[in-house]
Amino acid sequence: MDDRRWRLRVIYSGILLAVYFAFFLMCAYLPERMAAHVSSNSPTSVAMWLGAAIIAGSIAMTGLYTVSADRS
Amino acid sequence: MLSSNPATTGLFLLIVAGAIGITVAAARSTKSTSDFLAAGGRITPFQNGLALAGDFMSAGAFLGLSALIFSSGFDGFIYAIGYIASWPIVMFLVADPLRNLGRYTMADALSYRFDERKIRPLIAVISLVLVVCYLIAQMVGAGQVIQLMFGLSYAAAVVLVGALMIFCVMIGGMIATTWVQMVKAVLLLFTGVLIAFLTWRAFGYDFSALVEKAISVHPKRSAILASQMLPKDPLSGISLGLALVFGTAGLPHILIRFFTVKDGKDARLSAVWATGFIGFFFLLLFPIGYGAIALIFNDPAYHQANGALLGGANTVSIHLSHAVGGDFLMAFVCAVAFATIIAVVAGLTLTGASTIAHDLLRTTDPVSEGNSTRGLFTTRAVTLILGTIATLLALAFQDQNVAYLLGLSFSIAASANFPILMLALYWPRLTTIGVIAGGCTGLVLSVTMTVLGPAVWVKVFGFGAPVVSLDPPTLVTMPVTFLACYFGSVLDSSRSGTQERARFAEQYSRSIA
């Protein structure tokens, strides 16, 4: 299993899971920083923006993976 | 009853008529077992992506998550983020190899190199436990929500949902179920966009103003901007994260949808579309969730005299639709919620029927599999029996707290199905004994630890403290299942085990074809 498809699976899953669990750990152990406002003139929090980024990033990763997998 | 205007009744009848019309049209194309269980592999990736999104965006996602955001703020998004992150995992690791190795169910893929006489019954039992738990939770929720929305009695609501579900699946099979899911997904996405837009408009298209208002009216103030659940119990939080991100890849009603497209590449593309639709819908929950807090938290029109929300916690989205769009939008949202319920329970029933007919009866009655007419009859009979049992169970569980059943389903999926599937697809040394050791361990441990945990031991049985504090137990059950598979396989020195290991290279080549 040293083919390119396998490497793609491992790399993409690894990145996604690392970001996802880092987010969970930050929510669990750094609650004040996650609840902090993202800027002085916006009431939205760091957690909200990171959460939205993970959702958008998940969509983008599936698109990127399928392009890469089609080439492999 | 939440809405008594004629539009509610009209739209409700339109949804029922639409489901019946789709089913009758689909019945003309359902001529073989392959048509019935996998739509003959003729569904396009875009259509399947919509249907997968429809399967996944249940009433729990639509009504339940907005209710959770309404009461707890950001914790609702923790679930949404876990759900969406599970889809790339399904796509990267499962979608294409599963399609390339199987025909109708997950057990097909495992039967490629393992002893199917032992594997199929085990996978069928795990899948049925999952489907029945999921189905009871959905049916009980359906009965309660329809009772509130349309003023029917609980029994009438459950019987109506059960009858429509049995009719759709029995007559139209996978083709009808797929089209009902697609229509429902489009309606749900449209509804989400409309409510989010109208909510945004109500605050002058200023999201900051919306969040500021939400913070000012919610008793938890700015605490609603970050998770409160995870800092309280980080281990349970990580365990929940595991169940959410790996559970989807083990849910049988999601996995069988990959057999409705023609090949692995289309299965992968289906997952791309599904991730896009589901992710987009979950992004809409930001304005919907915080908008609901801002607009209805302090509005007495949506609360009873004792301060409780009119119609219960799960009606937040329905009240918000009324606040921003009036009676007609509220009636429309009620009808979409009903369509959502019908589509999801139909998908679950079909999954259960295919598991019994294809995996269980195949082992005892191989003739059915070879003879298309008899196979089709058997599958339809199983659908009728399973649908009737699910309806009766939903009636019996009317006054029970069944919220734990959805969590249990995800826990079993992440702890039993996911490890087995991963190791079967990617670990050459796995053998039939390893699969059996892992499957039995994952299933028994998940059920036992959930029963001894807070969700059942405290909330259902009423004991003061749980025996197992981890909720859900996936942080323990998933690694233990992997270990059971590992030791079961490495300690297996049988001749059949050696042959199964030797077949891995051939299986792997086929899985990536």
Residues in chain A with CB shorter than 8 Å from the CB of B226 are 27, 31, 34-35, 45-47
B207–A34 C-beta distance less than 8 A: no
| Percent of chain B clearing pLDDT 70 (strictly above) | 97
**pLDDT tens per residue, range B310-341:** 877 788 888 999 999 998 898 888 888 888 88
Residues in chain B with CB shorter than 8 Å from the CB of A63 are 272, 276
**pLDDT tens per residue, range B394-437:** 999 887 777 788 888 999 999 999 999 999 999 999 999 999 99
Residue of A nearest to B84 (CA): A55
> Which B residues, 69 through 108, put their C-beta within 8 Å of a C-beta on chain A?
74, 77-78, 80-82, 84-85, 87-89, 91-93, 96
Residues in chain B with CB shorter than 8 Å from the CB of A70 are 265
Residue of A nearest to B228 (CA): A31
B269–A65 C-beta distance less than 8 A: no
Domain that holds residue A59: 4-71
Say whether residue A9 is in contact with chain B using an 8 A CB cutoff: yes
pLDDT of residue B368: 52
Q: What are phi and psi of B129, to 5 degrees?
A: -60, -45
pLDDT of residue B371: 57
- What distance in Å separates the CA atoms of residue B190 and residue B179, rounded to the nearest whole number? 17
B80–A62 C-beta distance less than 8 A: no
A63–B230 C-beta distance less than 8 A: no
A47–B74 C-beta distance less than 8 A: yes
CATH among 1.10.3720.10, 1.20.1730.10, 2.40.128.130, 2.40.10.10 for B6-401: 1.20.1730.10
- What distance in Å separates the CA atoms of residue B412 and residue B130, rounded to the nearest whole number? 7
Q: Identify the three-state secondary structure at position A43.
A: strand
Facing residue for B241 by CB, picked from A21, A35, A48: A21
The type of residue at B465 is A
Domain residue extents for chain B: 6-401
For residue B59, is pLDDT > 90? Answer: no
* Residues B138 and B61 sit within 8 Å (Cβ to Cβ): no
Q: Of B507, B30, B508, B56, which Cα lies nearest the Cα of B257?
A: B56
Question: Peptide bond preceding B479: is omega within 30 degrees of 0, i.e. cis?
Answer: no
**pLDDT tens per residue, range B125-149:** 999 999 999 898 888 888 877 887 7
Give the distance from residue A37's alpha carbon to the nearest chain B alpha carbon, in angstroms. Answer: 9
Residue of B nearest to A61 (CA): B88
Model confidence at B189, pLDDT cuts 50, 70, 90, reads very high
Give the distance from residue A62's alpha carbon to the nearest chain B alpha carbon, in angstroms. Answer: 5
Residues in chain A with CB shorter than 8 Å from the CB of B234 are 25, 28-29
- What distance in Å separates the CA atoms of residue B157 and residue B412, rounded to the nearest whole number? 29
Token couple for A5 = 């498809």
Say whether residue B271 is in contact with chain A using an 8 A CB cutoff: yes
* Inter-chain Cβ pairs, chain A and chain B, closer than 8 A: 136
Helices (H) and strands (E) in chain A, counts: 3, 2
Say whether residue A54 is in contact with chain B using an 8 A CB cutoff: yes
The interface pTM score, or ipTM, of the predicted complex is 0.95
pLDDT of residue B42: 92
**pLDDT tens per residue, range B97-120:** 999 998 899 999 999 999 999 999
Give the distance from residue B438's alpha carbon to the nearest chain A alpha carbon, in angstroms. Answer: 23
For residue B375, is pLDDT > 80? Answer: no
pLDDT of residue B364: 43
pLDDT of residue B363: 47
Give the distance from residue A40's alpha carbon to the nearest chain B alpha carbon, in angstroms. Answer: 12
CA dihedral B180, B199, B274, B338 (to 10 degrees): -20
For chain A, what is the domain count? Answer: 1
